[in-house]
Structure 1
Amino acid sequence: MNSILGTFTAVVILSTAVFSTQNVQPQITQEVKNLTVVEEHIVSFVCKASGNPQPTFYWEKGGKKLNTRRNRFKVFDMPFGSVLRIETVKANDNDFFTCVAKNGVGEPVRSTGHLKVYGIDREGNEFPQGYPNIIINPELKSVEKEKPAVMQCKADANGHKFEIEWFKNNVPVELGDNGRLTITRTGSLQIAKALESDYGRYECVASNEYGVAYSYAAMLYVRVRIVPPYFTIPPKREEVDPNGSVNLTCVAIGSPMPYVLWRDGANQLGEPVIGKNVLQLKNVTESKNYTCVASSNLGNIEHVGEVIVRALGTPPRYVIAKALNPRTVQVVWLPPEKPNEVIQGYRVFYTMQPNLPIILWHNQEVQSNTNSTIITNLSPNDTYTICVLAYSAKGEGPVSQLITVITNEGIPSQPRNIKHEVTGPNTISISWEPPIQTRNPVKEYWVYYNDTYLKQENKAVVPGTQTRYQLQDLTPNTVYTIKVSALSEKGEGAATRIIQAITHDFANEMLVPSAAPQAVSGMPYKDSRSIKVTWKPPPKDQQNGEIQGYKIFFVKNEKSQTDQDAKSVSVEAEEIVLSELEIFTEYKIWVIAFTTVGDGPRSRPIRVWTNEEVPSQPRNIKLEVTGPNTINVSREPPSQTRNPVKEYWVYYNDTYLKQENKAVVPGTQTRYQLQDLTPNTVYTIKVSALSEKGEGAATRIIQAITEDFGIFFVIPCLFSKMLIKDSNGMIF
């Protein structure tokens, strides 16, 4: 007989007893009590009798044998006794109930009690004065064998006396004389050392002359088998809108029950919770992985849950504005590279006061099939700032980069893609690209730079054939604001956006690396979303101090992406694995070294492709224990793979001897039998698929236990495949 949680052997202890051969007629040892109860509630009559042979019992109501086949009347046998349970009590149950015991020796013996039934007061005063009331009910509890347990109960009777007794599986709990089971002063049932026989359904009953009150029933489970933690509900991949909320649920079980916690990287989120932990995330703004950890004294397991923020889409591209006359401007753009669903239209915003919130700017609506618009009634010879966004049924997407235009026909538009490089304490190199549209040739570029310390504004004039200029004679360790405009015979066009740069400190200039890292290389790493990058430090004589670390910049090598779009990470080591990249995509990567003073020059960029995708997880893995030494493993192919599956790898681990093994199965085979296994042993099993691109992710770990050679029983108080939830939502 098999169970995924474990195999248990019931030890039957045989005891000898001396039985008398003399027949003895029955004798009542516990009389039936008179009871009072409110209609629609529960009540139980208890009766005991001695005799040899052991008597049998039946019940009478009003002098007539009771038909216990009726659902409301249930009889439960116990050693030398019987319980009549009425569930639920009706008004016509106001009568005498008789317990009859017989064993074929002499006459049957009887004990009679009266049941008084209160009718329900429809005005709401349901209980008579002094009627007991359960104020703390017992709760579902799981306890390890030999450990103490308390089934809580507390009652009140408005100052009147009452008694507390406990029923297990509808019969009275025998406390015994050894002190293992006791009832506390408040009425709770205290178990000093839990045994398998304590498993059951418990009720607390308060009674006095005014009535009887039953608590809610609660299960007590006794854990008698050690099972490593495993996930029954692992965290899933969840998608959420920007600034939305999402819950990640993680449930794990085992014996003992594991504690479940969440981590964000190395940071623990909240406190560990037994069995089930729900991570509540609000105002989510970025995609991230969260790790669920289940741990017990038998080990730890982890599972990653992904939270994906649905993209708002990208902004419209290549926005250009040119003056058609002193009061009219034409704006042209390309649609977003990644629209936020189907584009319903565009909004073009424009203003002469760009510091105002964009909601206060003027705007024009443009249909989705049009990528240009004409703005009229503008002020002549003024500078306007313009941007464009696309909107869909899901809302507005991000705005484009701001551009400026001067309402004067024939002047150049803005220079593009302005960049800077600080080359010393007194110099900054500036570069840019020519305007996209101008009717007249660019005669000159004007480079404006402002010393923010001395407030000195300067202008450098650069020939129209040049797109690079070095600012010289600057003040060390000073912030400069810089912008560039183009000039034609019609006049000066709109300037670029303002950029800032800070010159090096003269005293510490030699502490900045003067050379880039060497031997930068990269290669796809393990999966299809990672690249490993390695490098060597700059030459010793050009490090100019102690290297504090490195900055690695990476960006997709596409026309729509510029170096300004690059992301960066910093490390102290001389290698890094870039993860969460796009599958089968070329990336442009470069590295710089930095000291406490600042950054050195960047390395020559390298270009590396991520791998094609490896197979996804095999699906619907199933186990069938077929003997003490064999387990059948079956599965379905992965749902996604670009390349055929060559092999399946079946990993199986003997949790007793800690031996990890791997079986290789041909890709055309959907079933495999693990052989030569150890009897009566828990095995953890997972399966992965392998293509020519590598091994994919493995399935979740599942457990099975091989059969024992001998006969055994499964103790019924252990976990089944059904999860049990208490009133607080705890999973057992």
Structure 2
Amino acid sequence: MYARRNVCVNDRATEAAAILIPAKPTSQKKVVVSCVAVEGDAPLRFSWSRDGGAEGERKRYTVDTLSSHLSSLTIPEVTAQDIGNYTCRVTNAAGTDTFTASLLVRDAPKLQPFYFPKENQLLQTIVVSCISVRGSPPLEFSWSKDGLPLAHKDKRVATRLLTDTISTLTVTNVRAEDIGNYTCRASNAGGFDSFTAELIVTDAPKVQAFYFPRDQLAGKKVVVSCVVVEGDEPMTIRWFKDGLPLASADKRTKITKHTESIVSLTIPEVTAAVVGNYTCAASNRVGEDSFTAPLIVNGKLQPKIGPFNFPREQLVGKKVIVSCVAVEGDEPMTFTWFKDGHPLAADAGRRVAKLADNIASLTVPEVTAADIGNYTCVASNRAGEDSFSASLLVDGRPPRLQPFYFPKQPDLHKKVVVHCTVLEGDEPFEFAWYKDNQLVVADKNVQVRTLSESLTSLTVHEVAAENVGNYTCEASNVAGSDRTSAELLVKDAPLLQKFQFKEGLSVGDQTAVVCAVVGGSPPFTIRWSKDGRPIAADNEARSVKTLGEGVSTLSLRSISASDVGNYTCVAENAVGSAAASAALLIQGSRDFVPLHPVGRRKIYDNGTLVIENVESDDEGLYQCDVSNGVAPPLSKTIKVSVHADWSQVRDPRGERHGMTSVLVIHNSARKDATAYVCVAKNDYGQTKHTFRLTVLEPPESPTDVVVTERRSRYVSVKWSPPRRPVNRYVFRYWRKSSRGSVLQEQEVDGMRTSLMVTNLHPGTEYLALVLAENSVGFGDPSDTITFQTAAEEPSAPPMNVQCEALDTRNIKVSWEPPPADQLNGELKGYYIGHKMDGTPFVHDTVNRDTEQRTFRGLQAASTYRFMLKAFNEVGSGPASEEVACTTLNGDPPAVPSLRVTGITSNSVSLHWNSPTSAASPVIRKYMLVYAATVHYTATVAGLQDFVTLH
């Protein structure tokens, strides 16, 4: 594209003729843009900018002055980020001129893989989404089956462009002819991409009806066959009696498998013990089917229950009573009620009663969603039993979700999008996403969107290790809920478990350590090294073995001094590597200083060491080395400990009073508590007396302080007592993060070592310790522990909720979080609902750091209501008061078309076209912004379309 400008300040000012830019160059191609000054005196100075910012400083761009009137801008590999408006500015002493042109880049589309559910049944509805994660708009989507374009005549198979980058394929009431390979193709001006997925349909089994003889006599043999007339193999066929599997060891029955689809049941001799309902159940990977027939012995009449039904009108909140009547059967009879195959719980609020010998009733005092299900009445007597089932439903059908799947092990930092689709059920639906059973909170990397009434999406913009886990989509309505889950796995670098050598090893000992990979994507390669040098697998002294994927052992058969050092295990895979190290130390591997016989220390020829008048600095390890110069040297290590000094005082008092000896122990400690013996001797013999010294000390610290039970407002704590008796314990606790937190105490009798701490705040972290006290005083406190109470739902709504209409299509909503002391846990985010009058709320999820949200794409001149709930890991709190805002009536005016109509030495005249439309019929005023070195503004009345600026 080449253009020309005709604006001149004076006779020899510069004039930039144009910028020549290729029309929509392809991504990754080189682009050269030229700027020509068609008039103006040299010297000329060229400069370039993109969207108002200087480009000359960017390393990716090259600016060259090819001649005095020609400059070029080179982009080596154009990408989407280079799109913008490029301006060439040329300046000389007489003035400046500029010209601007747009650069558009053609980027080919890139499709995210999609998959059909693994198991699909006939007449089922299936929806898949084709998503372009890259590419320049506009995109064009097309679908084909087995290489042929999809025919739009069949309304069961429909495609829909959901957004600019998402196309969906819906197959309603799947048939056998729908099986095949479906291809989605996305194209634009830069190229195309396609992806193909296979749709496979399997068939569930169908059991043919069978019956026992009507007039079966006792003592006779009976045979019935179970035939599966439909369904894909392999399949499993089983027999049941009265709901319990028939055991192969039961001699009263015999089961014979004739083919994959025919299994017979033989009862050699009919007795009263075999009377009952016999069921044949067939199942395959798609589903199952069954048929039940009663075996009745002639002469006894088993029960026959008449049909019953629950009311069909709106039942929520109402009382419901149904009666189960046995219209046939010998008395006495026993009635039993079941819900969804399980006996009715006594504490579920439902009541059962036997009104007569052949009538039983079921009462549901107030119907809720928890009461929805299949109810079965079973009547039995000596001849057999009968049952009848009826469904209790509320208005509407519960949702049924189609399974979703993540791409198989996407690379780290890649974008992943999955969709959760409701196939059946009555609107409106509420959606929620969970990761590892914890509610997903939207943030900058993870985004949850509701795309339509029956479709929600989960987007992970850059997959990281913390995003790995099981993701669950839940949809609910007034009639019930449904869930479907999928696992997100990524390719990740190895993660090693730390290892260490056993302490106290000596020369000659054996030892081994295990290096285990506890995370990452296999396969792994494991290498060992010592002090940076590799250890060979066939090393005789050090053995390396691989026990399995990601597990390796290092064994040392006989430790020597040369084995002391640092050992490192390195694990590698295709993504990265990890290392773990540990040091091997052995006893005696320390440095000993040669001991010379000086002063108090004497060494005799036989190797005896004598230390006279032992002092505290004589304490330590002593090693004796012996060698004859032929055999290997021998070593012996001993430890010398120096005890606290005792002093003995003699007190001569003369022969009349005898002699007195006093033992004084300075700074008595626990180790001094023992028995002491005093011995007195003379020429005629000796005598002795024993004294026992007891040292009183405060108790030791309680140990093993643990929280055994944790609730939202109380915890149970226990600890291990000290060895000495304790009079009482004091449990101290305080909030960890609260400023000015008050230290609180609770006393416990010395005989108890547990405590329940009450009146705590939900979702709050506390610090605590335990003190023990005896008659001497308090001992040292236990180690401080940290515990956190369980969370509760927030007890207050978001505050100061306000809304503001920005224009005809957008409304901004702002709020403040609930008070911190009423969050009752860690705030995860907010549910924000919006609706028009007369419609239900549509809820979105925003993260906890967001305190405003702009709703876009609304209807003009319409009133919308907004409400918010705060939620934590437990659930959501109360709703805020609703606020209402009305979008503006009419859009802002379009941009006027501005042109210069006259120039003098000190003025310029401007004209423009007044934009008018039905949406903006009245223009109140125009505002002009102009600048040389300083920005100025001018306001013009809305009826005027020209102005002269001086």
Q: What TM-score bracket applies, with the shorter chain setting the length?
A: 0.3 to 0.5
Q: Give the TM-score of the pair, scaled to structure 1.
A: 0.33
Q: Give the TM-score of the pair, scaled to structure 2.
A: 0.26
Which structure has more relative contact order (CA 8 Å, sep 6+)? It is: 1
